[in-house]
Amino acid sequence: MKHGSSSPIILLLSRVLSPYIMLFGMYVIFHGHYSPGGGFQGGALLASSIILIRIAMEEKVHQLHFNKDYGIPLGAIGVLIFFGVGFIALIMGGYFLDYGLLPFPGMITAELRFYGILLIEVGVGLAVMTILVSIYDNLLEEDDDESI
């Protein structure tokens, strides 16, 4: 599958649409406490905005947009954020993933649980976004040296 399109309509529309999809994904992640949504849906929206640029533009442009070497390490960081929040609560003397014991000063238990949920949603969103983009990249790589 060849990268990039020559039609100016597709180039312009993808360039206009992609930041708004990304903004909506951020809204879905960070407003998930008050409206439907959460980490998984917001991460999938962020991934779809990146994949839109990858379909429309040529390879030099979209590697500047999001480098494919960063896919798997950022996904691992997302999983480690989730696991680390649970493990900090375990170290502080509670159960695993018990956000009421996170070491943020000056907050009551309900607020601590609020920010604990927000942290793990950010981790889930980061992991889902990078993993979906990484799956797309790895599926699309051509075997140009099949004969060797």
Q: Which one among 5, 14, 48, 63 touches another protein, defined by CB under 8 A? A: 48
Looking only at residues 89 through 128 of this chain, which bind another protein when binding is defined by CB under 8 A? 96-97, 99, 110-111, 113-114, 116-117, 120-121, 123-124, 127-128
Residue 3 as a binder of another protein (CB under 8 A): the answer is: no
Place of tokens 């409206």: 35
> CB of 136: closest distance to another protein in angstroms?
7
Q: Provide the phi-psi class of 38: left if phi over 0, else alpha when psi is between -120 and 50, else beta.
A: left
- Which one, 66 or 75, has the nearer CB to another protein? 75
- Which one, 4 or 83, has the nearer CB to another protein? 83
Give the CA-trace dihedral at 74, 80, 82, 85, to 10 degrees: -130
Cα atoms in the 13 Å half-sphere on the side-chain side of 106: 0
Q: CA–CA separation, 101 vs 112, rounded Å?
A: 8
Cβ atoms of 77 and 119 closer than 8 Å: no
From 7-15, 37-45, 58-66, give the range in contact with another protein by CB under 8 A: 37-45
Q: CA–CA separation, 41 vs 103, rounded Å?
A: 29
Residue 47 as a binder of another protein (CB under 8 A): the answer is: yes
Six-digit token string for 104: 């943020």
Binding residues (CB under 8 A) for another protein: these are 1, 32-41, 44-45, 47-48, 51, 55, 71-72, 75-76, 78-79, 82-83, 86, 96-97, 99, 110-111, 113-114, 116-117, 120-121, 123-124, 127-128, 130-132, 134-136, 138-143, 145, 148
